Amino acid sequence: MVEMFQQLEFADKVRRQIAPRIAKGRKSELGQFLTPSNTARFMASLFPPSDLKTCRLLDAGAGVGALSCAFLDRWAGGGFGFKEVHAYAYEIDDRLRGHLAAHLSAYLGVTAHISGDDFISSSNQLLFREATEYTHAILNPPYKKINSQSAHRHELRALGIETVNLYSAFVALAVLQAADGGQIIAIIPRSFCNGPYYRPFREFVLQRAALRHIHLFDSRTTAFQDDDVLQENIIIRLERGGLQGPVTVSTSTDDSQSDFEAHEYPFDRIVFPNDVEGFIHVPTSPEENLDAADPQSALRYSLADIGVSVSTGPVVDFRLRDYLRDMPAPGTVPLLYPGHFSINRAEWPIVGAKKPNAIERNGDTEKWLFPNGHYCVVRRFSSKEEKRRIVAGVVDPSAFGDARALGFENHLNVFHENRRGLPEPLAKGLAVFLNSTAVDKAFRRFNGHTQVNATDLKTMRYPSRAALIELGKWAARSGELTQQMIDERLDALTA
């Protein structure tokens, strides 16, 4: 067993030596995060057995070769039936290619094709010549945004790929260049699962490949422990041209896989049939059932159905800095930040707070203000390892005396009716619903960010307006709510 994994361990030793010496600026420029051996080995283990005589392996953004080595170690140990392997590895960093070549050359029966070319540009040329058919691809692609006017964007668009980040571009290109039945395994940020920017990418991939497996780490920092990675990463396995069937979803706390757990789900639990956005949900236990896949579900209503809108708080404080005040004074109105809210109460003003408590009301600020009233607000950002992603609060106009208007800072999402307040029971009912454990878990199934955007909240499904109002009336009668009270009440609503 030690010999089987020897080359991967060599590659990982080199990674540990090199990674700390890569300047942050260089890492950011290339979107470069080298794959640790445990993660590489696990990814290679997810490929199904194969008796193909010849393997054509793609590793784009190969680094020092950890992923290729993990795959080839498995092959060398009898995990595949290939007689020969052609390994195509792309790496534009010339400081890594020498290590990559040395690691791949150690395998008998492997012909290594190592390129320093740009993978996107090279793929564009190869695809127009119909020159590629990879049987396997194993990827840790770079994470970096693609400028809308860049050469990359135009090259991808020529191939029918519309996407905003290098990682999704690499996966789309791997799918496009795979042979029929080709297997693609990639570790990528979870951000592609939802949001409008990645909708074309989701459609592109799912039209051409079947989604076979999703692996989710409980900790955001597990996959790349040596790097300050804010994104939550998942591992996916795709099969080019495959007939879509059930999807295996597995989880583990970390890359040791000591508590590995897997369940199989129908595809319509992963991508809801009537979801025009095509969001990819990641259930982590069979008991999770808070979704709108069932048309008879109590949670089948859109915000438009219940007559509510949600917007990002319009006050961008650094743009209105001249009008901000630490404490309320004549001519000002309350300015509300996430720090003013918790699940059970709002506190304003906060004496000695780092953020201002008020903003002047004048001709320059008027268009950014809302009339005083009842609102439900949700924080847009959470910290990396925070237990809750969604934290909602209620704005009670009585807390602000005779203030005629309110300012909502940009780190809040605001539920309102045509930029005016909500009926009090509706505002409270929305907050109770959003603060439930089930909603938080359901939200995490398709959102891997540390942020909750207005678009995400618009996409969710809610109880009816009448049910939310009743929920708000119950909250008003119940005093200070515990998490258990909230969860039990929602269970009763959805039973």
DSSP 348-380: -S-TT-SS-SEEE-STTTGGGEEESSBEEEEES
Which amino acid, residue 379? R
User: What residue spans in the chain does CATH classification 3.40.50.150 cover?
Assistant: 6-270
Q: Single out the residue of 422, 435, 409 nearest to residue 355, CA to CA.
A: 409
Q: Nearest Cα to 376, choosing from 396, 356, 359? A: 396
Integer-rounded Cα Rg, in Å, for the chain is 26
Residue with tokens 């190969």: 62
What are the start and end residues of each CATH 3.90.220 domain in the chain?
309-494
* Separation CA 189–CA 196 (nearest Å): 16
Q: Which residues pair with 178 in a beta bridge?
A: 134
Q: What are the phi and psi torsion angles at 416 (to 5°)?
A: -155, 175
Q: Check if CATH label 3.90.220 holds for domain 309-494.
A: yes
CATH node for 6-270: 3.40.50.150
Show the DSSP H helices in 276-406 as ranges: none
**One pLDDT digit (tens) per residue for the chain, 495 residues:** 334 446 766 566 666 666 555 545 444 544 456 788 889 999 999 999 998 999 999 999 998 889 999 999 999 989 999 999 999 999 998 888 888 888 898 898 899 999 999 999 999 888 876 667 999 999 999 998 999 889 999 999 999 999 999 999 999 999 999 999 999 999 998 889 887 889 999 999 999 999 999 998 865 455 544 544 445 789 999 999 999 999 999 988 777 777 888 999 999 889 988 788 888 988 876 655 555 444 446 778 889 999 999 999 999 999 999 999 999 999 999 999 998 987 667 889 999 889 999 999 999 999 999 999 999 999 998 755 567 889 899 999 999 989 999 999 999 999 999 999 999 999 999 999 999 998 888 787 666 556 788 888 988 889 999 999 999 999 999 988 999 999 999 888 876
Task: Describe the strand order of the beta sheet including 209-217 as a list of residue ranges.
Answer: 110-115, 84-90, 54-60, 134-139, 178-189, 233-240, 209-217, 247-252, 261-265
pLDDT given at position 389: 83
Element (H, E) at 16: helix 6-18
**Closest alpha carbon to 264 in 240, 278, 248:** 248
Tens of pLDDT, residues 420-444: 999 999 999 999 999 999 888 878 7
Beta sheet of 375-379, edge-to-edge order: 309-312, 412-416, 375-379, 392-395
**DSSP assignment letter at 481:** P
What's the pLDDT at 438?
87
- The residue type found at 167 is Y
pLDDT at 441: 81
pTM reported for the whole predicted model: 0.71
Burial per residue of 326-359, b for 16 or more beta-carbon CB atoms within 10 angstroms, e otherwise: eebeeebbbbbbbebbebeeeebbeeeeebbbbb
| pLDDT at res. 35 | 80
